[in-house]
Amino acid sequence: MHQVKLAENIYYLGFNDRRTHLFENIWPIPYGISYNSYLIVDEKIALVDTVERQFIDDYIGRIEAIIGNRQVDYLVINHMEPDHSGALKAIMAHYPGITLVGNKKTFGFVESFYATPANIYEVNDNSTLSLGKTKLQFQTIPMVHWPETMVSYEETNKILFSGDAFGSYGTLDGGVFDDEINLGFYEVEVMRYFTNIVGKYCPHTQRAISKLAPLDIKMIAATHGPIWRSDLNWVLSRYNKWSSYDTEKGVVIVYGSMYGNTQKMAEAIARQLSVRGIKNIRVYDASKTHSSYIINDIFKYKGFIVGSCAYNNALFPNVETLLSTIEHMAPKNHYLGIFGNFSWNGGGVKNLMVFAEKIKWELVAPPVEEKGSLKEACYNECIGLADAMAEKLLNE
């Protein structure tokens, strides 16, 4: 069987998942995802992370195809989320002498998810593990994106096994390394993976980037997506930008509309933004587009304008769900605009203002609200809202 190698004695053992619709049962993965595990063969043999449990049989088969009946000595656990630890129990059963390598928090999760491990090797920052001529060094990167997350640095080939950090949605369709694929395809999927999964922890990601900066890294092998070896800056610079909330001049407009009146307000605002010279404008119907994509664009663009019709005197439910996700992710450094529509007593705009108070983004203009169909006075207020947003963005 064809083997993919990162170095003479280091193998890629990943699997492509094209069946799962929702990653973490939340986030759409129309292009699938890969679960990447790695095998280091030396005087001692080590696995770095495992794979999702559906692949257990093939996973063990691929390990045996490389090492035959030799035993795996160590399982390095950079991250305990079950998409990577899913095969842990099977590996422990298959290789009963195996030693689990992790930090104090790792073993707490191993115990709560699976079982008390027989053999452990507890590591912390700068701890090392020698496998023969191969030496691993460990650094914790807490909350990128779980408490126990750490990375393992292989000193000979200068490979960073980075866990979820620098990972991507999207299966590896033949090409595994960044120089074997068209990165244009992964551009959105790398960012969506970051914003959906890691984005809540931007300050922690910044701390991790600083902590890893002294390492001389030639290759980054994450637990999802391509292995980076030809242009590490491609992914490093993007992670640095996104995790520092460095947004571009642009506006995301999201609306919830039952019969089109709130949508008409969104269209008027979008057109005026364009007239004022804003080129990056994305308009989304909250009932149609999954928050995964909207959150992604909110991380990308500085302006956010949200509109809701009233629904039973409250927010339109799909807008409410989106706003709850935004509050959860809490991206910073945005300008905010608010608009809405009602038929009876309102409820949309009133509750959008509650969101504004909580998220603490700068409100660029008073909220705009219409009763029933969009009429001239309110249309002009929509234009005023767009002008205020455009001026904020253009004057930066």
A 10 A CB-CB count for 241 gives 15
Q: Which stretch binds ligand FEO (CB under 6 A): 79-87, 90-98, 265-273, 340-348?
A: 79-87
Q: Which of 73, 83, 148, 369 binds ligand FEO (CB under 6 A)?
A: 83
Distance from C-alpha of 37 to C-alpha of 395, rounded to nearest angstrom: 48
Using the 8-state DSSP alphabet, how is residue 343 labeled? S
Is residue 79 part of the contact set for ligand FEO (CB under 6 A)?
yes
Cβ–Cβ under 8 Å, residues 163 and 152:
no
CB of 160: closest distance to ligand FEO in angstroms?
A: 16
Q: Which is nearer to ligand FEO, 50 or 263 (CB)?
A: 50
Minimal CB distance residue for ligand FEO: 81
Cβ closer to ligand FEO: 145 or 229?
A: 145
| Binding footprint of ligand FEO, residue count (CB under 6 A) | 8
Q: Residue 156: what are its φ and ψ, rounded to 5°?
A: -70, -50
Provide the minimum distance between the beta carbon of 49 and ligand FEO in the complex, in angstroms, as a whole number: 9
Residue 171 or 341: the one with the smaller Cβ distance to ligand FEO is 171
Task: Tell me the β-bridge partners of 137.
Answer: 128, 153
> What single letter denotes the amino acid at residue 370?
E
Would you give the DSSP letter of residue 197? I
* 83 versus 178: smaller Cβ distance to ligand FEO: 83
Q: Determine the Cα–Cα distance for residues 177 and 290; give it in Å rounded to an integer.
A: 29
Residues 235, 236, 240, 241, Cα dihedral to 10°: -40
Residue from 78, 106, 195, 223 binding ligand FEO (CB under 6 A): 223
Whole-number Å distance between alpha carbons of 80 and 34: 16
Position 84 contacts ligand FEO (CB under 6 A): yes
Minimum distance from residue 321 beta carbon to ligand FEO (Å): 22
b (16+ CB within 10 A) / e for 34-52: bbbbbbbbbebbbbbbbbb
Complex with ligand FEO: residue 192 or 224, whichever CB lies closer: 224
Backbone angles phi, psi at 221, to 5 degrees: -115, 100
Cβ 163 to ligand FEO, closest distance in Å? 7
Q: Does 224 bind ligand FEO (CB under 6 A)?
A: yes
Q: Report the site for ligand FEO in 294-313 (rule: CB under 6 A).
A: none
Interface with ligand FEO includes 81 (CB under 6 A)? yes
Enumerate residues 144-183 that contact ligand FEO by CB under 6 A: 145, 164
Rounded distance between C-alpha atoms, residue 101 and residue 74, angstroms: 7
Q: Which residues bind ligand FEO (CB under 6 A)?
A: 79, 81, 83-84, 145, 164, 223-224
